[in-house]
Every structure is written in structure tokens, then in C-alpha cells.
Structure 1
Amino acid sequence: MNEVVSSQTESKVYLEIVKQLRQIISKEKLKPGDKLPSERELSERLNVGRSSVREALRALELLGLIETRRGEGTFIRDFRGNQLVQLLSTFILEDEKAKKDVLETKYLIEMDCLKLAIDRYSSSAMIDLKEEVVLGQSVDDENFFYSIAVLADNHLLMRIWLILNDYFKALEIKHCEKEKDLYLNIIASIESGNKKKALIHYQNLRNLSNS
């Protein structure tokens, strides 16, 4: 029992560190190639142990979002400049079937992330996400599902979603702004632990068939 509690606590610490690192990057307007604060500085600024900071940085490095250069420090990678994405996007833009495949796969990954987010539920993280939705003038769909992918806590799914999201943006598909209630319904279903409702609300958001 103690091991389970310990694991959940460590997961919450990890998610909080990742979230605060994103805030630091955004607030300080750090760009690809810029250096992140040292482990010691981050530990002091975030008031967490250096081992926890190290684990969060390692996870972000596995995702390809940062890179560590021996003797120099940790730097933000230009993951959105992925050459493979740029190359394949040239063909995707000319192939209607490939466009549909990108959308379908992106949606499947997001639904898997929703189910994992329910399994690995973090009340504090959901409170923060709900506040972002409620207080914002509109909902940033990309940021919303990035947060869901973080909550899913699966590095491979996150990496796949990031690449698919780059493909999606390369397609330049016009999409209408959706009502906040559609996102709040998804959050409510995660909070209640109801996977079936979460998927139904997701399908409503994406205008997919529930059958």
C-alpha cells in the first residue's frame, strides 16, 4: 500500500515539475537553442529535490523536447522543426487518404490518452486544467490535449501525438472554435473516472459518430 501511495506522489511531483518547466519556458520566452536553468537552480526555484528535477528533465529529453550537452547544460530542442515531419508533410498535403489517416490516428491517440489520464488521475492537475478552460477567453485545443497527453504519462504516446500534431498543423485544416462546455464535459468525465462518457464527450467535440 505504501509503495502505491509513494508511486502516486512521485507521479504528481513529476507532472507538477513538467508543468512548471513549461511555465518557465513560456514566461521567459525561451526558444529552441536556449539554455535551461541548471538542476540546482530549478530545484531551488521549484522547491523540489534535485532527483525529481532530474527525472522530469530525463522524461522531457526522451520526448525529444530538450537535449543535454556534456559540460554545457540542458537546451531546448527545435522538435517542431523535425525534418521527417517536414519531408513527409510534402506528400501528405497531396494525398487525401494520408490526410484522413493523420486525423484518424491523431484522434485514436487522443482517446487513448484520455483513458490513461483517467487511470492515472491527478486531482491537482485537473483543477489547473479546468481553471485554464474556465478563465480563458477561448480554449486552445492543442494545449488542452497536450495537457491530457502529459496526464496520460506515457512517453511514447506523447511523442507520437507531438509528431501527429505537427502533421495536423501542416495540413492547415480550418477548424471552428468549440464551446467551453465540450471541454468541461471531458474534464468532468475524467474526474468521475467514467471512460465511456469521456469518449462520448470526445466524439462530440470532434464531431465523430458515437456508433
Structure 2
Amino acid sequence: MRLEKIQHALPKIPELVMQTLITAIDRGDVKVGQELPSERDLAEMLGVGRGSLRECLAILEFLGAIENRGNRKVVIRDADYIQRSISFVRVSNKPNIQEDFGEFRRINEVAIAGLASQRATEEDLAALAEAVRMLESNPDDYMNDLRFHDALAIASHNMMLAATIHLVNSMIADIRVRFFGRPDYQRRSQESHIAIYEAVRDRDEERAKREMDRHLKIVEDFARKYPDH
């Protein structure tokens, strides 16, 4: 494996590490399916600190470009996939993304609710019920909201939808954080989550889609009400 030592410059070190790895994959110096060296060896090869390297590797793992196999990390996606994923992340950080995000969720999550009402297994329903319970027991943790939507997407048994929703919801989590701690939002949001769960449990497709649409309108209303909260 051949990697060029990084010349420190203005871009942040993790970004330089990312670009160096992408270039190496694109040239074939690092091949899809190949194990990366240990963190110590990789940091030494690149001439960077292990903290910066770990930050880069965590991003690549989140994007599904590498995966853990035992104590090593293996490249599982090509350079084009990684570049497209990074572009997607950068788009999510642009201002005025909220309306696009809302439209994306309406198109996809309403469909997910409908599919889940048709396809959810007993195991899926148990996971949704547990997600609702966690929201009730710890309403201040916005990650419980993400877990509910992840569980619902998994219950759709459409892995493309599930993977996309997980990625996008994780990247746009800061939209929720603005108003998630407000008791009025928590109450209305929780009632809405329960209604979605009950519609899916009852196998009522139209009701599930309607309740998801209502839930997303609650989110959009609060996002407009507290844009800079």
C-alpha cells in the first residue's frame, strides 16, 4: 500500500486525510476490499496525529465507506461513492436547507409509514414500542426521536429508504435540537409518535400515512416558530 505523506496546510487535518485516502483509492493504491494498516502505522505513513486520523475514519465509517472487521478497518466503497457521500454531507450543512429537508421527509417518511403498516413484523413492532417507551422515559434526548424514525424505516423493509433516512436524519439532527427541549414540542411530538406507532400496529396504512404527515407538520411548525432557537 502506498500513501503520500500529508503536507499540513490551511484545510483541517481530517479533511486532508480524507482527500489523501480518496486519492489513493481512486489511483488503486488502496483497493476496495483491502485492509487499512493499523491506526499507528497509518498515522505514521500520513504524518498526522492519531486523533485527526480517527476523526476521518469515523466519518468514513459513518458514510459506509469502510467497516470494522476484527481489529482492522476494510475499505468497502470506491472513491466515487465516497466523494458523492461527502458532497451530500456538505449540501446538508448549507443554509436554508430546512425546506428541502422537510420536503424530503414528506416524500419518504409518509411512504415509509405506509409500508411499515403493511410489512412490520412482530419484532419490528416491539422495536417501535421500545422506541416510544424511550421517548416517554427520556424526552430530553433527541436521539430517541431518531431511534423511533430509524425503527420505523427498518419496519418498512425497504433498505434503501431505511439507509437514506438514517443518514439524512443523523446529519440534520441540529434542526431538531433547536426546539426539542421545549415541553410544548415534546408533548405534541410524543402524542404524534404514539399515533404513528398505533396506526402501524393496527395495519392501517392510510391512517399511518396521515399521522406521519401530521407529525411532520408539527416539526415544520416549530422549526418556523423557533428558527434560531
Once residues 121 and 189 of structure 1 are traced to their aligned partners in structure 2, the CA distance between those partners, rounded to angstroms, is 11
Structure 2: tracts of 5 or more residues without a match: 1-35, 37-60, 76-81, 221-229
The aligned runs of 1:163-178 (5 Å cut-off) are: 163-169=167-173, 174-176=178-180, 177-178=185-186
Once residues 217 and 105 of structure 2 are traced to their aligned partners in structure 1, the CA distance between those partners, rounded to angstroms, is 14
Once residues 201 and 108 of structure 1 are traced to their aligned partners in structure 2, the CA distance between those partners, rounded to angstroms, is 14
Once residues 183 and 172 of structure 1 are traced to their aligned partners in structure 2, the CA distance between those partners, rounded to angstroms, is 15
1:198 aligned partner = 208
Once residues 172 and 101 of structure 1 are traced to their aligned partners in structure 2, the CA distance between those partners, rounded to angstroms, is 15
Classify 1:106/1:76 alpha carbon distance in 2 versus 1 (closer, same or farther; 3 Å): farther
Q: Work out which of the two has the higher radius of gyration on C-alpha atoms and give 1 or 2.
A: 2
1:33-60 C-alpha deviation (Å, 9 max, x unpaired): 9xxxxxxxxxxxxxxxxxxxxxxxxxxx
Structure 1: tracts of 5 or more residues without a match: 1-32, 34-60
1:17 aligned partner = none
Offset, 1:122: 1.4
Once residues 172 and 125 of structure 1 are traced to their aligned partners in structure 2, the CA distance between those partners, rounded to angstroms, is 24
1:151-190 C-alpha deviation (Å, 9 max, x unpaired): 1111211222123223312667623343332211111101
Classify 1:197/1:84 alpha carbon distance in 2 versus 1 (closer, same or farther; 3 Å): same
Corresponding residue SS for 1:175: coil
Q: Which has the higher contact order (CA 8 A, sep 6+)?
A: 1
The aligned runs of 1:125-164 (5 Å cut-off) are: 125-134=124-133, 136-139=136-139, 140-164=144-168
TM-score (norm. length: structure 1): 0.52
1:27-82 C-alpha deviation (Å, 9 max, x unpaired): xxxxxx9xxxxxxxxxxxxxxxxxxxxxxxxxxx9x9397375xx588699xxxx7
Classify 1:195/1:76 alpha carbon distance in 2 versus 1 (closer, same or farther; 3 Å): farther
TM-score (norm. length: structure 2): 0.49
